[in-house]
Amino acid sequence: MVKSIIGGAVAAALLSAPLYVAGLAAAAPARPSAPPRAPALAWVVTPTDSGCRADLELTSRSGAVTPVTLTSDGQLVSLRFFKDDLPPRAFLPLRIDKARYSNLMLRGADGAGELVLSEETEAAMKKGATLGVAWLTDEPLSAPLAGSEQGLADLRVCGAQTAARYREKVATEQAARDRAQTEARAKTLADAQLAAIKAQAAVADAQRRQVEETAERQRRADEEARARAVEQARLEQDQTDAAAQQRAYDDERRRAYQPPPAEDDEDAQYTPPPRYWPQPRWRYPRY
C-alpha cells in the first residue's frame, strides 16, 4: 500500500516537472542573447593597374568601421590606410591573436600610409584568427581573419600576374617612347642636315651669282673701255687726217703765192700763175 502511494507520487512529480520548468521559464525575465559571431571575412581580390587589392573593414567596440586595403604586387603585401599627420616613415605594430608584429610604414605621395608586412606578419595572418590595430583611430580596431590563408595566397598570385602584365605594358610603352624619341632625334638630325645642305647650296648659289655679276660687270667695263679706245683712236685719226689735209692745203697755197725762181736765161718760157685759187679742201666730207 505504501509502495503504491510512493510510486504514484513520484510519477505525478515526474509528469508535473516539465510544466513547472515551463512555468519558471515563462515567469523568469528574458536574458540578453550572446552577440552573434562575426562573419568570416570575404576575401574579394580585385586587380588594379599594377597589382591586386582586398578591402578590409576594421571595427571598433562602438561599432565604427574603418576601411583599410591589403595590396600586393606579387613580391610584397602592404596594408594601406589613411590617417592625418603621418610621419614620412615609422615602425608600427599589428596584433594578430594578441601577438605583436612590427612593420615598416611609409607615407605615400597622396598622404596615405603603407604598412609593408613582413614575412613573419604575413605568416601569422594566414594562421591567425583576429587582426588588431590600436593606433589607427581613437579606439582599438579589429577584424576576423577567417579565410586569410587562401585570401593572402590569392592576393599574391593575382598581384604577381597583374604586376607582370603592368611591367610588360610599362616596358612596351617605354620602348614605344624610346623609339619615338629616337625617330624624333633622327628626324631632327636629318632636318638639320637638310637645312645645312640647303644653306650651303644657297651660299654657293649666292657666291656663283656674285661671281657671275662680277664677271658681267667686268665684261661690260671691258666693252666700254674698248669702245672708248676705238672712239679715241677714231678721233685721233680724224685729227691726224685733218692736220694732214690742213698741211697739204697750206703747202699748196704757199706754193701758189711763191714767186718763180730767177733764171738767167731770158728766153725761158714764162709760166703765169693760175687764174683761180686752188679748190679748198674741207676737213670733213661735204654732203
- Domain locations along the chain: 45-165
CATH 3.40.50 applies to domain 45-165 = no
Which cell is 165 given?
602584365
Among 143, 133, 154, smallest CA distance to 39 is for 143
Each residue of 164-211: pLDDT tens digit? 999 999 999 999 999 999 999 999 999 999 999 999 999 999 999 999
Residue 64 region, left (φ>0) first, then alpha (ψ -120 to 50), else beta?
beta
Whole-model pTM?
Answer: 0.53
Q: Which helix (H) or strand (E) holds 92?
A: strand 89-96
- Which ranges constitute the DSSP H helices of 103-147? 119-127
The pLDDT assigned to 38 comes to 43
Each residue of 208-258: pLDDT tens digit? 999 999 999 999 999 999 999 999 999 999 999 888 888 888 888 777 776
Q: How many CB atoms lie within 10 A of CB 179?
A: 10
The owner of cell 599574391 is: 156
Is pLDDT of 24 > 70? no
Helix, strand, or coil here: 63?
Answer: coil
